Amino acid sequence: MTNETTNTAPANLQLGQATLQPGSPEEARLDRVPNPHADTDYLARFTAPEFTSLCPVTGQPDFAILVIDYVPDRWLVESKSLKLYLTSFRNHGAFHEDCTVAIAKRLTALLEPRYLRIGGFWYPRGGIPIDVFWQTGEPPKSVWLPDPGVPPYRAR
């Protein structure tokens, strides 16, 4: 937790420290920090334009643009830990649907947000792009939820 008097991050975060790249999503550690505006509904967006995983059948790389939107409650995801978690998929074999939904579920379990959605905009494999979308429910009515900004597949 944040030190209330000095407003500094906890010492056990990966932030500000040399951190090795985790070998797999299971090994990756996601950190959370207190939300200083827990009394306010707002949307935070993370975009990972170079997300990579491996096809579990062929071992060939798969590429996606991930857009993660969430309305935090008490917790924010610490962005360095999120980056390390997402890059841990580079050597991980899983189908597009599994990668996308697993990321969303892990973030939801960690953060307990008021709302979370993820869009996995995957580049074609075998000539077919596979886009995967998941959300926790309806967003709060007071939150502006912009378009993900990724066009439908037309040779993105």
The class (CATH top level) of 32-135 is alpha beta
Query: What is the chain's alpha carbon radius of gyration, rounded to the nearest angstrom?
Result: 16
Of 31, 41, 62, 98, the active-site residue reads: 62
Q: Please indicate whether residue 116 or residue 154 has the higher confidence score (pLDDT).
A: 116
Output the CA torsion 52→55→61→64 (10° steps).
Answer: -40
Residues 2-18 have pLDDT tens digits of 434 334 556 687 887 78
For residue 156, pLDDT over 90 is answered with no
pTM, rounded to two decimals:
0.89
Catalytic residue status for 99:
no
Alpha helices in 21-123 (DSSP H): 79-87, 96-111
* Catalytic hit among 55, 73, 98, 131: 55
Q: Over the stretch 29-76, which tens digit does the pLDDT of each residue have? A: 999 999 999 999 999 999 999 999 999 999 999 999 999 999 999 999
Q: Note the pLDDT of residue 153.
A: 76
Q: Which pLDDT score, from 0 to 100, does residue 155 have?
A: 64
Rounded Cα distance, 102 and 47, in Å: 16
Q: What is the pLDDT of residues 106-127, one digit of tens each?
A: 999 999 999 999 999 999 988 8
55 flagged as catalytic: yes
Interior/surface letters 96-116, b for 16+ CB within 10 angstroms, e for the rest? beebbbebbeebbebbebbbb
Domain ranges of the chain: 32-135
